[in-house]
Structure 1
Amino acid sequence: MPETSDRGLAAPVTAGVVAAVVGFSSSFVVVLAGLVAVGATAAQAASGLVALCVMQALGMAWLSLRHRVPLALAWSTPGAALMVSTGAVTGGWPAAVGAFLVAGALIVLTGLVPRLGDLVASIPVPLARAMLAGVLLPLCVEPVVALADSPAEVAPVVLTWLVLLRLAPRWAVPASLAVALLVVVVAAGDQVATGDLAPSLTLTTPHWTASALLGLALPLYVVTMASQNVPGVAVMAGLGWRVPWREAMSVTGLATIAASPFGGHAVNLAAITAAMTGGPDAGPDRERRWIAPVTAAVSYLVIAAGCGVLTALVAAAPEGVVQSAAGLALLGVLAASLREALAEDEDRVPAVACLVVAASGVTVLGVGAAFWALVTGLVVRAVLRTGVSDAPTPPAHRSPGRPARRGGRRAA
């Protein structure tokens, strides 16, 4: 019996460790780039990374232990990409922190007020995906530019990604990032900062400006909901699990609020790693799969201890090396976003208009391109549909909040 029990624990524990390693390594450079882009120093960016690791670990441990459901959490990678494209906001880093806090408050309200979830779900899916694709496009171009400018440093990163994409797709991004960091160590040598590399939290008093709220907080909320929370519920439903919507939104929103003064931008439901912790990879015994996200939570706390070292390496990287790894990591998300953005004939032109504006990176009246992209897409869509009655909203577009609030272990 003990031997059988050990075997039963091995699968979810292994799945949890793998999910944490893959989830962190595949996107932490995007998070650091996003935090720096909106005004964080290296120390503040490292603090944000630590805060996100800790808060998502605590959140997923609470939800999984409480409901015995394999609920995995993550940071908002699309939100980080959005910050890269948005750049500095009026009011600087304190205003960005204020925007993070407001985004977290909106996520909490989404769980408490079903109509807010319905409002988010009413945003046409093609436009939400087109906005995300436009935000990601400049980042995904980075490997091409860097390869042309610095082939010796960037080629090993791209080749590693390409080979493992064929042989072991799950490890293609982590391995390419590991090669990128190796290139950094070789190229930078003694230039890597060797001061206090222990993880630390840097507190920033939030400040609020209208342009930061419109240009960062609102798009960050929309992107996180449309690209992380709603797909996260769909992934779990596909695996036979029902997400306790109200509590999940409350926990992730409060985790975002708690992380924001220390530089964390958004905590949300996981989508990709949710399949690792809630699916067959976590073992054949469904009753034990909740162990996987709990193990991932412990792993994230361990990983948090190394955030200072990783931030120092990224800061010392030659131009283009880490950006290339980040761009490669986002190609899959870009492909999925483009597929959904252009799937419907009637929304194709509004989606393309939305994508182009988002990719432009323009700032108008102090508000970033993501906000104007969504406005443009909605205006073009309204003009093209004037006098044409819309078909009923498909079930997939409805808020996941209403049917999921009851909680429960398995989907009906």
Structure 2
Amino acid sequence: MDLNKTFSAVQYASRKLLALNDEKINQILLAVADAAEKRTDFILAENRKDLDRMDISNPKYDRLKLTADRLKGIADDIRKVAKLPSPVGRVQKQAVMPNGLKIKRVSVPFGVIGIIYEARPNVSFDVFSLCLKSGNACILKGGSDADASNRAIISVIHDVLKQFGADLHVVELLPSNREATAALLHANGYVDLIIPRGSSNLINFVRQNATIPVIETGAGICHTFFDRYGDVKKGAAIVNNAKTRRVSVCNALDCLLVDGDRMKDLPALCAPLQESNVIIYADTLAYASLQGHYPAELLKEATEEDFGTEFLDYKLAVKVVEGIDSAIAHIQQYGSKHSECIVTEDKEHADWFCREVDAACVYVNAPTSFTDGAQFGLGAEIGISTQKLHARGPMALEEITTYKWIIEGEGQIRK
């Protein structure tokens, strides 16, 4: 599939964006937010076409589903992005050298960012708002599962761009087929950065096949460790919220680790999960502790495969560990470096956990469900990076800019 003309048009649009001032960008974003709410019926009708093609039991179904409330939340996030200061043109460092050269480092857009994502139509709005605010043009490659939803959203955005006389190629939606994915992954000279959002299979495929730089937004295999000094009331609420608030997202809890000294508190920690019919896959000790205290039809014996699994469903692995060192070792072996939590009233253990656990986000007495750009005050997010180069954790405006050095002289010559 020859998409080079499209890629070239987006690249040209990215250069034109540099001349667009922040006031005009904010006006466009606010107009897009208003349009998202005004055209809710249209967007939901197109989203329904996608939903009708998907099995409701599919873990992707909840991510695919849009509602009036979710669209309002998306619109509110766009408005928050508009209120944030521009990340472009910030002087990060500056100095005058002994020879009189004036040197400064200034934040600039990447240029063209490609996003490959699955059944997550909200990404279309989120990525556009963050990219426009940071001066980037974006190329979206959504999955076939959400194609009608994505096309509806981009048509709404394009209608707003037309009103402002802006280049429509600042956001481009590619066909949903595999050929378009391959073309985007090899769009050298046109695309500056690729960010995949989706399953571990998608992320691994992009990382292994792209010939342009990639920032991984990894799968979320998230743990909560209930320490020997943990508070049961806090722990039960944290576990329940992390698991059941929204099971299909990457910050949802997948494994509860409990210190062996507190095994007697396991039934109380898991009790609220019954209301959501959460299936527990418990190791031998946890199973013995929960048996008779948790519904038998929801209690299963864990297998090795249950640890290290991102369930994206009302399912949870539970394991009893011998102290904080064992908990950290388990997380090191099975975690995805996304979000990890300790429930403890002991500051030494809290500090120990935060220091030793290798993850983008580490929590003390708060659920992993907070790993989200909006919750971190970033307006929205383009993804949760689990790698260590350039960006880590929720990626928003600052994380999708880079920098360049500007050097001013008066005719100095290097000897």
On whether the aligned pair clears a TM of 0.5, the verdict is no
User: Into which bin does the TM-score normalised by the smaller protein fall?
Assistant: under 0.3
* TM-score computed with the length of structure 2 as normaliser: 0.23
* TM-score computed with the length of structure 1 as normaliser: 0.23
**Bigger helix fraction:** 1
**Bigger strand fraction:** 2
